[in-house]
Amino acid sequence: MRVRLWLFIGLTFALRVPFLANGPSGWDDVDFALGLRSYDLLQMQPHFPGYPIYMLAAFGMQALVDNPFLALSLLSALAAALVVWPLMRVVERISGPQVASWTALLWAVAPLSLVAGAQPLSDSFGTLFATGLAWAALVASDPLRTARSRALALLASGVLLGLLLGVRVSYLPFALLPMVAAWQFRRLGGLWSDLCSAVAAAVLTSLLWAYVLMLNVGSWFGLWQLGLAFTGGHFSDWGGAYTAGSVWERLLQWLGRQWGAAGIGTPWTEQQGLASYAVLLLVALAGIGFVKKWRGFSSFVVVWLVPYFLWALFAQNVEKPRHLLPLLPLLLWALVVGLTSWPRASRVLVPALAAAMLVVGLGQVAGQGKQPAATAQLADHLAARADAAELLVFTYEEERVIRYLHPEVRTLRLRQFADLRTELLNRPTLPQVVLTDSVLNGLDHQGVRAFVEETARFRGSPWLDPVYHDITLYEVPPAKRAAFERFLKRESGGDGVSGVSDYVSGSS
């Protein structure tokens, strides 16, 4: 078992190293890179809640690697490799060593694990702690273990929960794991004093990083206010069309694209290779097999899966598949259980699934580290233009990358037509107006569309950057400038004093 463990850790790491991202691609990775340069919560470097434990590890990695994006990506690869350890332990205990090895093999090659394991974001690192927490919770509630190791595991789960929250607060739903484990622990005759120690350990570990955050902001009250301001904007400061779509459309997109295509490599509009159909076929076989065998799955898995599953569906951004990463091991495990229910054939089926997944995964991650992301291409394009100094670029989240790479380009991030109009009328002469498609499509008043023309388009990979991978640039051509100015000065739709307070307070 030990040899296999190291084999899969090595394989997982080796598969990610050639594809490590080395440049900016979106808001969050720039946040982390800026945080490495100067950790500052108020400046959103990184944004609230500050990811203190993750950033601490990232500081350590940066001591070895100079490029902040490369350092963060390397940390992700290392974390993804280490996930194998708790994962194999958990699966081995419930489904046996053969299933454990195969689950580890799938983790090494699954597209989402491969992509997230080579990106400068905190998900891979968080998944390591979430999986570790699951292992500790399993041991703490395991009747076959000695009372002593149960007590120690419960204590470890307390510390791990504290650390996990210091990596990503959004992984809070996994807190149900140690809670149910504690209940089971008591039923097996565990001592109250041990349970209290574990709770104290969780609280103290959380306090440790919360205190450091407080020091960075300056006071507990300041940290609290920052949290309120951030969550206020986080959940409501949105004026565009992105919230459109019914619950069912959302569910379909989430299951089909994020879990299926991005997660394990099933076919999707942009993913039509033979390998992805092979994945689909094998997943169908696994599904049939799983229906026969699912009773072998313990209630432990339900506690692990369900809270975060619901959280990811309803409270996380469904456009980003990386939010599913901490649950991906469970899906892979279920696939292996399903395939092994086919007697004899499973020896062929699981390696076949791994091979197909690897082909799809390599296809998804191939360009990373070699071609700049669409946002970075956009930034370079704007800075290289002859009229760069005259531009005023309206963007949404692309702004963070533009400002990181080329701070001299003037950008404004907004969502509402009233804001755009105010910004333009506030200038003595109309600048050369450039808009990205995310601003134009999100504006609550589409009158602007009549005055703009498409001038450039930048493409990246939808798998590496699920939101800003296809950016179209629009601008007001010289022939329409005068008319656009008249439009801004006369048009009164989508505006009015009644909306003023919304704008001023920054949320609506």
Partner 1 sequence: MKVRKGLLAWMLVLLVVLAMRPEGAFAYSYGNPNEEVVAENYKLFAGKLNLDPPDFQAATDVYKQVQVEIDQHMGPEPSKSILGALAAKDKATALDAYRKTLVLNIARRLESIEKDFKNYEINKLLLAKALATYEALAPQVQEQAIDQKLRTSFETALSALGNPGLFGVGVKEADPALFKVQKDEILNSLKTQFQLESLDVGHFQPGEAAKETAPSQEKNQGGTSELRNWLPLIGIAVVLGAIVFFATRRRRRG
Tell me whether residue 159 or residue 352 sits nearer to partner 1 (CB atom).
159
Tell me whether residue 10 or residue 506 sits nearer to partner 1 (CB atom).
506
User: In residues, how long is the chain?
Assistant: 508
**DSSP states along 233-274:** HHHH---SSTT-S-HHHHHHHIIIIIIIIIII---BTTB--H
Using CB under 8 A, which residues numbered 134 to 163 contact partner 1?
A: 147-148, 151-152, 155, 159
64 binds partner 1 (CB under 8 A): no
Instruction: Report, in Å, the least distance between residue 44 CB and partner 1.
Output: 7
Distance CA 497, CA 389 (A): 33
Instruction: Report, in Å, the least distance between residue 467 CB and partner 1.
Output: 10
Among the listed residues 447, 449, 393, 398, the one whose alpha carbon sits nearest the alpha carbon of residue 424? 393
Under 8 Å between Cβ of 468 and 397: yes
Binding footprint of partner 1, residue count (CB under 8 A): 86
Q: Figure out which of the listed residues 11, 229, 280, 366 binds partner 1, where binding follows CB under 8 A.
A: 229
Choose one: 204-212, 272-280, 343-351, 456-464; the region binding partner 1 (CB under 8 A): 204-212
What mask, x for binding partner 1 by CB under 8 A, covers residues 461 to 490? Answer: -------------------------x--xx
Choose one: 52-60, 97-105, 258-266, 331-339; the region binding partner 1 (CB under 8 A): 52-60
Distance CA 484, CA 474 (A): 14
Instruction: Report, in Å, the least distance between residue 405 CB and partner 1.
Output: 16
Q: Figure out which of the listed residues 188, 204, 288, 291 binds partner 1, where binding follows CB under 8 A.
A: 204
Question: Mapping DSSP to helix (H, G, I), strand (E, B) and coil, where does residue 474 land?
Answer: strand
Tokens representing 232? 């206020």
The identity of residue 454, as a single letter, is E
Using CB under 8 A, which residues numbered 392 to 431 contact partner 1?
A: 397, 408, 421-423, 425-428
Distance CA 227, CA 163 (A): 19
Using CB under 8 A, which residues numbered 249 to 308 contact partner 1?
A: 250, 299, 302-303, 306-307
Distance CA 159, CA 67 (A): 31
Strands of 411-413's sheet in order across: 411-413, 391-395, 432-436, 470-475, 453-459
In order of 4, 86, 179, the CA distances from 199 in angstroms are: 34, 22, 9
Using CB under 8 A, which residues numbered 337 to 366 contact partner 1?
A: none
217 binds partner 1 (CB under 8 A): yes
493 binds partner 1 (CB under 8 A): no
Q: Figure out which of the listed residues 11, 17, 44, 345 binds partner 1, where binding follows CB under 8 A.
A: 44
237 binds partner 1 (CB under 8 A): yes
